[in-house]
């Protein structure tokens, strides 16, 4: 009986891990309707249970300075002065990360986030359709960079940093090249 319980827990844990990975990397991990998991190169036949991966952006690679300028421009397009906030990564500290944040009143932060997102979309940033919340966060991709625009509240900040009516408005940029991560094609059948 103890061995059976261990097998069940292992199967549940493996399913959860693979399911989360499939959401994060839909072009690298796929689960078909029969429970088979494919890692690495896409399987030769399409699966009904997974959404087709979005094509990679063909825009030229961006530098950190380019992304810093995109952030300043988008913040300005939302009617904010970029100097009202602060950078989340020091200039020159890391060439593949950048960001900006400001403390805002909650109702204003929602409309400012929408204005920032609209500006990014006008400038050719591609919206990630998976896992975003229109009112809390949206992520975009372009030129090898990912930008997350979010309003995050008091629960993720020190208790004395924000009043009940305030939240953080943040833009976080991260340069990630998932094609540099080699994954062999592996098929696992779970029953």
CA nearest neighbour of 190 among 2, 13, 5, 1: 13
Structure tokens at 117: 């997102």
* Boundary (domain end) residue, out of 53, 77, 92: 53
Query: For the whole model, what pTM was predicted?
Result: 0.61
Instruction: Give 182's contacts (C-beta < 8 A, 6+ positions apart).
Output: none
Examine the domain organization and report whether 9 and 99 are in the same domain: no
pLDDT in tens, 89-147: 877 777 888 999 999 998 899 899 999 999 999 999 998 877 666 667 889 999 889 99
Say how many CA atoms lie within 13 Å of 123 toward its Cβ. Answer: 20
The total domain count for the chain is: 2
Helices (H), 83-185: 106-122
173 and 156 Cβ atoms separated by less than 8 Å: no
Q: What is the mean pLDDT of residues 60-77?
A: 91
Q: Looking at the chain, which runs of residues are DSSP E strands?
A: 29-31, 36-39, 86-87, 97-105, 126-127, 137-142, 145-152, 166-175, 186-189
Between CA 187 and CA 36 the distance in angstroms is: 6
69 lies in a domain?
yes
- Structural domain boundaries, residue 120: 64-178
Is 37 within a domain?
yes
Q: Tell me the per-residue pLDDT of 133-167, one tens digit each, with 9 for 90 and over.
A: 666 788 999 988 999 999 876 555 555 678 888 88
Using pLDDT thresholds of 50, 70 and 90, give the confidence band for residue 79: very high
Find the CATH number of the domain harbouring 125.
3.30.310
């Amino acid at each position: 009986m103890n061995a059976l319980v261990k097998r069940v827990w292992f199967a549940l844990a493996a399913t959860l891990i693979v399911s989360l990975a499939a959401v994060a990397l839909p072009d690298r991990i796929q689960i078909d309707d029969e429970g088979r998991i494919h890692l690495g190169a896409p399987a030769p036949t399409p699966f009904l249970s997974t959404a087709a991966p979005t094509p990679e952006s063909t825009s030229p690679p961006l530098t950190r300075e380019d992304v810093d300028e995109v952030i300043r421009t988008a913040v300005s397009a939302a009617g904010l002065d970029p100097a009202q906030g602060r950078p989340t990564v020091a200039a020159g500290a890391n060439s593949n990360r950048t960001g900006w944040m400001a403390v805002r009143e909650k109702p204003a932060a929602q409309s400012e986030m929408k204005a920032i997102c609209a500006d990014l979309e006008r400038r050719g940033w591609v919206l990630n359709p998976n896992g975003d919340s229109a009112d809390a966060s949206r992520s975009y991709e372009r030129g090898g960079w990912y930008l997350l625009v979010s309003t995050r509240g008091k629960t993720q900040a020190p208790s004395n940093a924000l009043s009940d009516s305030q939240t953080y408005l943040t833009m976080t940029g991260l340069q990630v090249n998932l094609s540099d991560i080699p994954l062999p094609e592996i098929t696992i059948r779970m029953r």
